[in-house]
Structure 1
Amino acid sequence: MSELAELLSHQPLPGGVLLRGLPVADGREDHLIRQVMALANSDSASSRCLVFGAEQGAAGTVAVIGLCDADVARLTAQLRLCINAIEPALDVRVVTAVVTGKTVAALVIDNSSNPPYVAGPASPGDLRAGECWLFDEQGLRPAARADLDNMYATRRQRQQQIVLIGIGDDPRNEILEVQVPDNSKLPSRVATLKLSAAVKAQAIAAAIVGRDDTAMARLAHLRIFGADEPFRQDGPTTLKRALKEVPDEYREADLYYRFEERAVRMNLSVMNNCAEVLRSAILDLTFPVVAGLEFATQLYGPSGQSSNMKRAYPEVRQEKDCIRVRASLGDLAPGSTTRAFPAALRLAVDRSLVGQKIALRYILDAEGLLAPRQGRLRIKLRA
């Protein structure tokens, strides 16, 4: 029996399981976000989920009405809006199951240990940044000042007993905001432009004077390559061959430029607030596959020089639908803060990603934890 089917088999349902019939219509996503936010802010110690495709039946039973494929697709799309709209980062996923021959789906909150959860600046509809919602006996309602004070107090108390994982040197920091570097002077691109200009200049000179002219060639070389590069009387065949060889000749220089000189560097901090040593800690990060976002798999030195820090770099694996990064942290002493990677993770970010947010999942496992520590972090890319 699946996780969701097992939950729906309980009578009565656990306190954190709410039946919601059909998914909200397009354009009403703000209503769904309020419900997810309220559920994340609840005190339920059991599983927390909004179940779609089922309603409350007679005598406390569950009446399964079912969903079509379009309903599940809409719910999956709405999940992305929820993740982007709620702060701090919230771990939510869609699960489906077949119950009595019909499809049901649920938005499941795996980890909501950092309330209060509020609406962020990317909230849709009439949901305003800073809004906070709760469930009580009367249903859905906005949080009052006293509610927020209680949640902050509970959050501070919980943080004394858990492992904190954050970006940079602050294990409480969940967002990395970085400026996307200008990668327009990629060595191979610069070389291609110069060689192409040299080929064109030779063709123009030959058309004007009808033969090779050293004086004109020197002037063209000075204009294109500058005074620092010695003049060579290369013919068009030599220049065109050099043009074809640019990708191979500048491969190392391009890697160094993209993943060292113009890289976005990212590291994490792990704080052990437990009362005991966490042994053999392993940190796994999962990034989405995003066009224009690439990860270095090692450290790169300048062209012709190999890096001597390969063993300090985290393990990076490119998979079909994600990028996985793993680091062994060793033993984490009580009260200690540890940097996740001896050498920061290097990311090459294209300018087309300016203004976007990238969410990543983390899982920390270690001997001494009752369950792996899971959560989400975000990268905000600005111009």
Structure 2
Amino acid sequence: MFPIEYRIENEDESVTLDFKKEVYGSEKKGEFLKDVAAFANALSNDLYRYIVIGVKDQNGIKEYFNVVRNDVGDVSNYQQLIDQNIEPNIPINIKYVKIEENELAVFVIGPCDNSPYVFKKDYLKNKQGIIYIRNGTSTRFAKRQELDLMYQRRQKVQRSDILVGFDELNESSIELRALDSKELKNSPSNKRKREIEHEINNRKSPSYTMSLKMLRDFDINTSLRIFDSEIPLTSADDSELQQMLLDVKDDYRNNDNYYYFEEVGNHFNLIILNQGSEPLNDCTIKLKVPIKGGVRIADDIYDNPADSSLLFRNSFESSQYPYVEKKDTTYIITENFKTIKHKLPTKVFQEDIRIVFPPSLEDTLLTIHYEIYADNYPDVISGDLTIKVVKNHNIVI
């Protein structure tokens, strides 16, 4: 699911999204209740539905209007109005977003996982027992077939039974650190690049002689590099040095991957708690992370190239790292489960996800989206989590 700001600018009205130019005044309380009930009853896999105030949408052309918060009022008044007139309970929240310098109000309705939602008493034009449903971009009375579908969904594991977070407390946000400039500078390829450049510059010096070149061949650091299969720089001719400089990123790709993903990058995982009365069977879990500002996610666990013991590792040993693919502007991380047991916390990924943030992403929020598919649950279980990218010294351990 994309952030609501993206949806406002790029999506049309639907069963989960509605645009209104003006706030609901006191004379429109009945219309507000009708809209909320209809959205909550909409047959959609999305748990949350949105009514955006401050948008005029005419034939796909949107115009935005600044909304005054005092005109919107307190969310508790809206929640009380809903609780007094509709059952079961429909949670609602209000958030504010800026689009083209205009502040818009967004009514966030949900999670909507207990339909049908019914008027429990007469209120203005809304009669007791009435069931509205959002269909396309319009609202009408629910049909028998639609009510059957609502009840069928309720007979399975309830969406509210499935909790997903970064730990066993189901925290929906986590702080992960960005790399600092020193860490970037000290990557294996950058260090090797500086060494090559230093050797090239040394050879331009009038004091450079063959005898000095021979002495440097026995430098302890250079000697040790022989065990790492690195060519001593003093043994390379000028053209070889230039080629080494061009190839350094490719030659040290595995070293860099190990350094970034295993030594200085972040590792994280997710926890699922199934509070329902039965397991989720034959599950596929997808985590979608936007490729934003240089975010990098490992596609495997990288071995240390300097570890000679890995040469003797059995070929049948394989990583349990999840499948990672790049699709357009998103990383999609996939894991499969035979069963997600109920009443027990379950780690989503067998191996922690490796993720790296460049310094430019410090103090930014990254919204990641998860989707869970199960044979014994008819809909996609989905939701959003947040990563706050911080400086290293801001991490609390």
Q: State the TM-score, normalizing by the size of structure 1.
A: 0.60
The answer to whether the Cα contact below 8 Å between 1:175 and 1:379 also exists between their aligned partners in 2 is yes
* Structure 2 counterparts to residues 1-383 of structure 1, below 5 A: 2-3=14-15, 13-16=34-37, 20=53, 22=55, 25=65, 43=83, 74=100, 109=109, 111=111, 162-168=161-167, 170-181=168-179, 182-204=183-205, 207-208=206-207, 212-215=209-212, 218=215, 222=219, 228-229=224-225, 232-303=234-305, 305=310, 310=318, 312-369=320-377, 371-383=379-391
The answer to whether the Cα contact below 8 Å between 1:202 and 1:217 also exists between their aligned partners in 2 is no
Query: Could you report, residue by residue, the CA deviation over 1:165-188 in whole angstroms, capped at 9, with x for unpaired residues?
Result: 1113x2511111122243432111
1:48 Cα deviation (Å)?
6.8
Structure-2 change in CA distance of 1:161 and 1:244 (3 Å): closer
Partner Cα separation in structure 1 for residue 108 and residue 270 of structure 2: 26
1:195 Cα deviation (Å)?
0.4
What SS is found at the alignment partner of 1:242?
Answer: helix
Partner Cα separation in structure 2 for residue 180 and residue 6 of structure 1: 37
1:352 Cα deviation (Å)?
1.6
Partner Cα separation in structure 2 for residue 356 and residue 39 of structure 1: 31
Partner Cα separation in structure 1 for residue 363 and residue 76 of structure 2: 24
Number of aligned pairs?
A: 285
Q: State the TM-score, normalizing by the size of structure 2.
A: 0.58
Partner Cα separation in structure 2 for residue 174 and residue 262 of structure 1: 24
Unaligned runs of 5+ in 2: 1-12, 21-29, 40-50, 57-63, 114-122, 124-157, 227-231, 392-397
1:160 Cα deviation (Å)?
11
Query: Could you report, residue by residue, the CA deviation over 1:236-256 in whole angstroms, capped at 9, with x for unpaired residues?
Result: 223223222322321211222
Partner Cα separation in structure 2 for residue 250 and residue 378 of structure 1: 33
Partner Cα separation in structure 2 for residue 5 and residue 167 of structure 1: 28
Q: What amino acid does structure 2 have at the position aligned with 1:364?
A: I
Q: What amino acid does structure 2 have at the position aligned with 1:288?
A: P
The answer to whether the Cα contact below 8 Å between 1:354 and 1:382 also exists between their aligned partners in 2 is yes
The answer to whether the Cα contact below 8 Å between 1:163 and 1:273 also exists between their aligned partners in 2 is yes
Structure-2 change in CA distance of 1:20 and 1:189 (3 Å): closer
The answer to whether the Cα contact below 8 Å between 1:214 and 1:233 also exists between their aligned partners in 2 is no
Partner Cα separation in structure 2 for residue 6 and residue 346 of structure 1: 38
Partner Cα separation in structure 2 for residue 352 and residue 370 of structure 1: 41
Structure-2 change in CA distance of 1:323 and 1:246 (3 Å): same
What SS is found at the alignment partner of 2:34?
Answer: coil
What SS is found at the alignment partner of 1:243?
Answer: helix
Query: Could you report, residue by residue, the CA deviation over 1:289-344 in whole angstroms, capped at 9, with x for unpaired residues?
Result: 20220111122212285897655111212111322222112212221111101111
1:22 Cα deviation (Å)?
4.3
Partner Cα separation in structure 1 for residue 79 and residue 196 of structure 2: 59
1:372 Cα deviation (Å)?
3.1
The answer to whether the Cα contact below 8 Å between 2:217 and 2:235 also exists between their aligned partners in 1 is no
Query: Could you report, residue by residue, the CA deviation over 1:108-138 in whole angstroms, capped at 9, with x for unpaired residues?
Result: 645379xxxxxxxxxxxxxxxxxxxxxxx9x
Q: What amino acid does structure 2 have at the position aligned with 1:164?
A: L
Of the structure 1 ranges 262-271 and 214-223, higher mean CA displacement relative to structure 2 is found in 214-223
Q: What amino acid does structure 1 have at the position aligned with 2:380?
A: P
The answer to whether the Cα contact below 8 Å between 1:183 and 1:262 also exists between their aligned partners in 2 is no
Of the structure 1 ranges 35-44 and 174-183, higher mean CA displacement relative to structure 2 is found in 35-44
RMSD over aligned Cα, in angstroms?
4.4
Partner Cα separation in structure 2 for residue 296 and residue 188 of structure 1: 18
Query: Could you report, residue by residue, the CA deviation over 1:41-88 in whole angstroms, capped at 9, with x for unpaired residues?
Result: 9656569799xxxxxxxxxxxxxxxxxxxxx9649x968xx8xxxxxx
The answer to whether the Cα contact below 8 Å between 1:273 and 1:334 also exists between their aligned partners in 2 is yes
Report 1 or 2 for greater relative contact order, CA contacts < 8 Å, sequence distance ≥ 6: 2
What SS is found at the alignment partner of 2:346?
Answer: strand
What SS is found at the alignment partner of 1:327?
Answer: strand
Structure-2 change in CA distance of 1:22 and 1:376 (3 Å): closer
1:34 Cα deviation (Å)?
7.0
